[in-house]
RNA sequence: GGCUGGGUAGCUUAGUUGGUUAAAGCAUCGGAUUCAUAAACCGAAGACCGCGAGUUCGAAUCUCGCCCCAGCUACCA
């Protein structure tokens, strides 16, 4: 029995749960369930990232304490568990006491290594916005919103992390571990980025300006920059540094993230681990983005898709099926309700739903009995999942539904009599049982319903699994 | 500008160590059928494989140039 650790990124709690995150966590959930069914001891982590400037500001704007604001949002993300039928067994919040201590401990290790140092940092500040600006936000050296005003340079002392120390070490790691980042072109992308030269990044902020963060050990005037503290969650979730046993059993693990997190996960975090003298992550799976109607989802465009709404409207498993099979695993995909409905209609309502109904009806009519079996997930499905090919795995399963349907029509099973009919129906029942077993990590509820109808010796017809969507 | 990924039937995609009529699903049309959620099954039509040139007996696949889309080019997470 192996140990398996998988974690999502921690969504930042300044917005409602996004369908892109729903996809990320459903993928992680599918892998976690598959490993559990394979007999592995699984630690599946998710949670919320709660520190930083944006949250601090949002809380101030809403007129509540930052912690109160975070509590509210953490609950919203916690709601995903039932809405998406998730099986994670740890939900970390970066404001958890243990996590805060772990982040500080991690800091000390990097500091002891000589990778953290203080340096004067020039902050670009737009008086018009009353905000600090980054270079990428500036147009011709001026604020895009206030081009008439000069950008002020404010000097501030911050702590920096010697990212530059890890340039070669990171490149060596990429070279010696093909498949560390999946898909491979992302690893290559990162390799190019690192190879082109790394700048140290700041890892703290002045507490007087932004108090909502983890206090820097030994310097009460500074708090950690949110990245530094947030990344540590992947190991603090395992009880590091106090629970050595758990940490050693489960670390390193697999990290699932979106492509916007590529650098943080595959370079910065890895360098931080090297600095702290801890093993690197095992593997990082980077997914693409979801667009809506060909455009990025945004409130102003009004094209934001709420995953919880779809789950309520069409069912959790229908949403899981869609996000796992109809969406490109590695590239960006466009998501529309029309596409969703098509996937629902073909593979679910007309596919497994209809097959289950027709076979169960015939079996019930003749009081068919089929000896019970114990079935596991087939190797082809496991292999596809290990390569993060959720789409291929489901395609493989749906292929069996097609096979069964074809068999029924070709043999005209409903016209057969006696032993011959029993023979073919029993065969069909076994196909459905295998589909149910294979489906367990992807669509746990559907898998169970199928087993309720077809798992026992006596076959019983249940209600329709997926009711067709009638278009008017 | 540089870098990365992509541009293949109406839609979503597979296919690159170059090789017989470019593959699949959905949508469309036709057939046939009724066990089933008017579902399933059989068949047909549908592609100047982004554009142009080159290498080759032969290119979706290799080379060069160009066009279009998305993203990155670092401290917003």
Chain A residues 49-108 with Cβ under 7 Å of strand B are: 49, 52-54
Distance A177 CA to B74 C1' (A): 24
Q: Domain A337-454 adopts which CATH fold?
A: Isoleucyl-tRNA Synthetase; Domain 1 (1.10.730)
Q: What percent of chain A has pLDDT over 70?
A: 93
Residue where the block lists tokens 């970390």? A92
Q: Measured at the alpha carbon of residue A114, what is the angle toward residues A110 and A119, in degrees to the nearest 5?
A: 100
Whether residue A32 contacts residue A88, with contact meaning beta carbons closer than 8 Å, is answered with yes
Per CATH, is A3-115+162-287 categorized as 3.40.50.1370? Answer: no
Nucleotide closest to A395 measured between CA and C1' = B25
Confidence band for A140, pLDDT divided at 50, 70 and 90: low
| Per-residue pLDDT reduced to its tens digit, A342-351 | 999 999 999 9
What's the CA–C1' distance between A334 and B54, in Å?
A: 37
A406 touches strand B (CB under 7 A): yes
Nucleotide nearest to A361 (CA to C1'): B35
Q: How far apart are CA A377 and CA A371, in angstroms?
A: 19
Q: Band the pLDDT of A129: cuts 50, 70, 90.
A: low
Of all nucleotides, the one whose C1′ comes closest to residue A267's CA is B74
> Distance (Å) from CA A334 to C1' B52?
31
pLDDT in tens, A173-227: 998 888 899 888 888 888 888 988 888 988 998 888 888 999 999 999 999 988 8
**CB proximity A464–strand B (7 Å threshold):** yes
User: Is residue A441 within 8 Å of A377, Cβ to Cβ?
Assistant: yes
When mean pLDDT is compared across A23-37, A130-144, A315-329, the lowest value belongs to A130-144
Task: Tell me the average pLDDT across A399-405.
Answer: 94
- Per-residue flag: A341 CB under 7 A of strand B: no
Tokens matching residue A418: 């006696």
Q: Which nucleotides of B are covered by protein (CB under 7 A)?
A: 3-6, 12-14, 25-27, 34-42, 70-77
HSE-up of residue A404 (Cα within 13 Å, Cβ side): 27
What pLDDT is attached to residue A290?
86
With DSSP H G I counted as helix, E B as strand and the rest as coil, what are the percentages for chain A, rounded to 5? 50, 15, 30
Cis ω for the linkage preceding A241 (within 30 of 0)? yes
Summarize pLDDT for A20-74 with one digit per residue, the tens: 899 999 999 999 999 999 999 999 999 999 998 888 888 888 899 999 999 999 9
Say if residue A472's pLDDT is above 80. no
Q: Which nucleotide C1' is nearest A124 CA?
A: B75
In whole angstroms, give the CA distance from residue A119 to residue A336: 48
In DSSP terms, A126 is beta-bridged to A131, A151
pLDDT, tens digit, 9 for 90 and up, residues A235-294: 999 999 999 899 999 999 999 998 888 899 999 999 999 999 999 999 999 988 888 877
DSSP A71-134: HHHHHHHHTHHHHTT---SEEEETTSHHHHHHHHHHHHHHHHTT-EEEEEEEEEEETTTTEEE-
Check: CB of residue A89 under 8 Å from CB of residue A317. Answer: no
User: Does A466 contact strand B, using a CB cutoff of 7 Å?
Assistant: yes
**Tokens (6 digits) for A377:** 């997930």
- Among chain A residues 188 through 247, which have CB within 7 angstroms of nucleic chain B? 188-189, 192-193, 197-202, 225-227, 230
Sketch the domain layout of chain A as residue ranges: 3-115+162-287, 337-454
User: Nearest-CA residue to the C1' of B14?
Assistant: A392
Distance A326 CA to B43 C1' (A): 27
- 């992947």: which residue's tokens? A234
In this complex, the answer to whether residue A298 has its CB under 7 A from any atom of chain B, a nucleic strand, is no
Tell me, in Å, how far CA of A245 is from C1' of B56? 63
Task: Give per-residue pLDDT as tens, A427-464.
Answer: 999 999 999 999 999 999 999 999 999 999 999 999 99
Strand B contact at CB of residue A396, distance < 7 A? no
CA A422 to C1' B41 (Å) is 21
The Å distance, CA of A265 to C1' of B74, is 14
* Residue A466: nearest nucleotide (C-alpha to C1'): B37
- Strand A204-206 relative to strand A219-224, pairing: antiparallel
Measured in angstroms, what separates residue A288's CA from nucleotide B49's C1'?
Answer: 25
Q: Could you count the other beta carbons within 10 Å of the beta carbon of residue A38?
A: 16
Count of CB atoms situated within 10 Å of the CB of A303: 16
Specify whether the backbone of A45 is left (phi greater than 0), alpha (psi in -120 to 50) or beta: beta
Identify the residue whose Cα has the smallest distance to the C1' of B27.
A342
């Amino acid at each position: 029995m192996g140990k398996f650790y998988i974690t999502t990124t921690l969504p930042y709690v300044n917005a409602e749960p996004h369908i892109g995150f729903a996809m990320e966590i459903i993928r992680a959930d599918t892998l976690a369930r598959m490993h559990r069914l394979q007999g592995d001891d699984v630690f599946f982590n998710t949670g919320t990232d709660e520190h930083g400037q944006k949250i601090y500001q949002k809380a101030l704007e809403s007129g509540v304490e930052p912690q109160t604001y975070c509590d509210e949002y953490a609950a919203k993300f916690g709601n995903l568990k039932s809405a998406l039928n998730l099986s994670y067994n740890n939900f970390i919040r970066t404001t958890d006491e243990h996590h805060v201590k772990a982040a500080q401990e991690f800091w000390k290790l990097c500091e002891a290594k000589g990778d953290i140092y203080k340096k004067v940092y020039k902050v670009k500040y737009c008086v018009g916005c009353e905000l600090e600006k980054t270079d990428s936000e500036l147009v011709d050296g001026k604020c895009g919103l206030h081009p008439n005003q000069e950008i002020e340079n404010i000097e501030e002392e911050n702590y920096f992390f010697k990212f530059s120390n890890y340039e070669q070490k990171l490149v060596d790691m990429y070279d010696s571990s093909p498949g560390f980042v999946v898909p491979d072109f992302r690893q290559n992308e990162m390799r190019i980025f690192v190879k082109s030269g790394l700048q140290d990044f700041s890892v703290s902020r002045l507490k007087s300006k932004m108090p909502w963060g983890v206090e820097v050990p030994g310097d009460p005037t500074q708090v950690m920059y949110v990245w530094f503290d947030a990344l540590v969650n992947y190991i603090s979730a395992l009880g590091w540094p106090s629970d050595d046993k758990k940490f050693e059993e489960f670390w390193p693990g697999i990290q699932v993230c979106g492509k916007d997190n590529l650098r943080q996960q595959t370079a910065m975090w890895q360098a931080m681990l090297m600095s702290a003298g801890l093993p690197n992550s095992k593997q990082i799976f980077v997914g693409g983005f979801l667009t809506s109607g060909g455009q990025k989802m945004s409130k102003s465009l009004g094209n934001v898709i709420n995953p919880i709404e779809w789950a309520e409207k069409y069912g959790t498993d229908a949403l899981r099926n869609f996000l796992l099979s109809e969406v490109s695993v590695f590239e960006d995909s466009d998501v529309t309700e029309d596409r969703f409905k098509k996937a629902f209609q073909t593979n679910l309502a007309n596919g497994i739903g209809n097959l289950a109904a027709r076979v169960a009806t015939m079996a019930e009519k003749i009081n068919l009995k089929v000896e019970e079996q114990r079935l596991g997930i087939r190797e082809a499905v496991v292999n596809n999942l290990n390569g993060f090919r959720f789409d291929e795995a489901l395609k493989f399963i749906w292929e069996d539904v097609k096979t069964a349907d074809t068999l029924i029509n070709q043999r005209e099973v409903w016209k057969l009599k006696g032993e011959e009919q029993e023979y073919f129906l029993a065969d069909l029942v076994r196909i459905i049982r295998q589909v149910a077993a294979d489906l367990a990590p992807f669509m746990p509820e559907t898998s169970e319903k199928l087993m309720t109808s077809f798992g026992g010796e006596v076959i019983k017809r249940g209600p329709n699994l997926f009711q067709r969507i009638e278009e008017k």
